[in-house]
Homo-oligomer: A and B are copies of this chain.
């Protein structure tokens, strides 16, 4: 079956229903300016999951949860023993997040399965809609814990001791969460009965400006650039701002300036492909008339080419150390994800579906990281991007048109009809 031959299912996708569900979800954790703050494993997160489950049960899907809280909604195949096709994303948000990042991928999966069922289209393979635990990492760092544990990238207890700002550990929050979802059938973590998924498809807003500025409908994502996160801590000495000559100071702010200036040179890229960001700075004691004795700052480094990412990232510590004039520093790598290339199976299916639906599509690499990259070693993987206004995400003003989101759900429906019948 090709994408062109599921017209009834594609037609059954409801733009209004999907939008209405998105707006209902956006109420759970609503913040001013149309934003959403729904951290993982909170009561708001659980309310969102219960709402999703209510829609899934109304459709007759089988609901289950694994040991790290990943939630699965199963549409049974005509040959239930076959490897399922997995589609979904995550339901948690950034602290100052929007209404579409993550949650749309889950609701598009539900919309696609509902469309298949309403069109009476049976699939050989089961289709499972998945909501991964803690993609954002806003409450418990790093993100993508659910997909990393599912794929065996890390053991499920790897983050037990990670604490949120209130001192609650991930282990404690997860224990409480699973107790509150004890009525939901439990499934094994990861690949069940040795049957890896047949494929994984993740719909997501682009979080960048390329589709919108190109007047395009669909991003056919063929890979995810690599990311490395570092924490730099600079140690100097406090001194009185009025009395201590500059030559006698160990000013952590001034050595931070030198370090970042040197990193700007290290990461300079005339093609503007490499991404280097210092997004977080903490100064201590942070008093106007006291020379700072400590500065912590983060580095977010990304590139689609593994060799570039490794070379530049490995050079960071030496460049920081070489830039310091009076202080000492430590450099710690906090996150390391090499670039992912997707098997052509899913991207090709997405591209065919978009073409069959008359949508303008572009092959592209994702600049943001996603749960999808941790599925790559497990099964053919891909993503479907839709445009978002101004490329803005992780902000209350994040926005995609109902029609753009519906187009994405139609492509997903066609792709699932295709892949689940192979």
Hey, which chain B residues are within 8 Å of A269, CB to CB?
A: 246
Please give me the residue from chain B that is nearest to A268 by CB atom.
B246
With most chain B CB atoms within 10 A of its CB, the pick from A138, A229, A238, A276 is A238
Count contacts on A: residues with CB < 8 A to the other chain: 61
Query: Given known contacts A240-B391, A243-B206, A300-B242, is B227 in contact with A253 (CB within 8 Å)?
Result: no
Q: Which residues on B sit within 8 Å (CB–CB) of A275? A: 241-246
Bound complex: CA of A275 vs CA of B269, how far in Å?
36
Tell whether A64 is near chain B: CB-to-CB under 8 Å.
no
Are B261 and A242 in contact, CB atoms less than 8 angstroms apart?
no
Measured between beta carbons, the chain B residues less than 8 angstroms from A207 are 240, 242-243
Counting CB contacts under 8 A, is A290 at the interface? yes
Complexed CA–CA distance, A367 and B253 (Å): 21
Chain B CB within 8 A of A208 CB:
yes
Bound Cα distance from A298 to B287, whole angstroms? 9
Chain B's nearest CB lies how many Å from the CB of A405? Answer: 19
Please tell me if the beta carbons of B257 and A245 are within 8 angstroms of each other in the complex: no
Q: Say whether A395 contacts B289, CB under 8 Å.
A: no
Q: Does A381 contact B (CB under 8 A)?
A: no
Contact between chains at B277 and A241 (CB < 8 Å): yes
The answer to whether A241 and B289 have CB atoms under 8 Å apart is: no
Question: Which of the segments A26-34, A165-173, A278-286, A355-363 contacts the partner chain?
Answer: A278-286
Which residues of chain B are within 8 angstroms of A366 by Cβ–Cβ distance?
242-243
Cβ-based interface call for A193 (8 A): no
Point out the residue from B238, B272, B391, B395 that lies within 8 Å of A243, measured CB to CB. B391
Is A95 positioned at the interface, with any CB of B under 8 Å from its CB? yes
Known: A207-B240, A238-B394. A280 touches B277 (CB 8 A): no
Residues on A facing B (Cβ under 8 Å): 94-96, 138, 206-209, 225, 227, 229, 238-248, 251, 253-254, 257, 260-261, 264, 269, 272-273, 275-283, 285-292, 298, 300, 302, 366-369, 391-395
Given contacts A138-B287, A240-B393, A253-B281, 13 further A-B contacts (CB under 8 A): A96-B285, A225-B242, A241-B300, A241-B302, A243-B393, A244-B391, A253-B278, A257-B260, A261-B261, A280-B283, A280-B288, A281-B283, A288-B300
- 6 A-B residue pairs with CB within 8 Å: A95-B285, A229-B288, A245-B272, A257-B257, A279-B288, A280-B286
